[in-house]
A and B are shown apart, each in its own frame.
Chain A
Amino acid sequence: MSFHAVVAHGATGTWLDEFIELGLPLIILVGLYFWSNRKPKAKQ
């Protein structure tokens, strides 16, 4: 039994559903976290 077999399928019924529904928001959150913590560039 694979991980994919125990989650409800989405629109495409493939791994793409999991990537879009879980991976994409995770990438957005992590990306924004790093962007928020970025040190401002020192002015010349």
Chain B
Amino acid sequence: MQFPITRQGLQDIAQFLVAGIVIFGLLAFVTRQRGGSPRRYLQSAGMLAGLTVVSYALAFTVAPNIPTPPVPFTARFQSNAVPDTTGSIDAGRRTFQENCVICHGPRALGDGPQAFTLNPKPFNLQVHVPLHPTGEVFYWIGNGVANTGMPAWRDKLSDEQRWQIIRYLDALAAKRIDQ
């Protein structure tokens, strides 16, 4: 069974805890200045420090490493510019089969003939496309994904073609079409 928190998630948690250490440190300082006992605040900061160490230890041992390539925040909110019609899905399928199959495979499972030469290997898009906002997927197709074999298709495929590919992948992932 996979550990239920990713390395990136544990790093986020650790950052949260470090912020907590700073806050409790400040509270202890202020309390001491006012003549009170800062003991509990310092104990809390100590517990948070311990949890931070545990978070980092788990992050780099048992937690799965699932990096998400960075996408501009506003790009995430883009919605698909082409309608969800059979025509769009068919056009997306054609573009996908012509350009993407070699790496992503005929059913976007990440099993294309060239996939085995890539590191990291292409993900199963039937699993991953529904897990990401449409705008994020559109951005990755257009701009590529750094440190992977995914090239930028912005200059080779039009915006419309890229949105159609996403319509096709959505339909494929939702099992509305077989291939």
Contact = CB atoms under 8 A, between A and B. Distances in A.
Q: Do A and B bind each other?
A: yes
A20 B9 contact: yes
B48 interface: yes
Contacts of A21: 5, 9, 12-13
Contact residues on A (Cβ < 8 Å of other chain), bracket: 20 to 34
Given A10-B66, A11-B3, A29-B16, A35 B40 contact: yes
B141 to A, nearest CB: 17
Contact residues on B (Cβ < 8 Å of other chain), bracket: 20 to 34
A25 B14 CA distance: 9
A28 interface: yes
Among A11, A12, A20, A38, the one with the most B-chain Cβ atoms within 10 Å of its Cβ is A11
Interface of B: 2-6, 8-9, 12-13, 16-17, 20, 23-24, 27, 40-41, 43-44, 47-48, 51, 63-64, 66, 68, 76-77, 79, 131-133
Interface of A: 1, 5-6, 8-13, 16-17, 20-22, 24-26, 28-29, 32-33, 35-38
Contact of A28 (B27, B40, B51, B64): B51
A36 B131 CA distance: 40
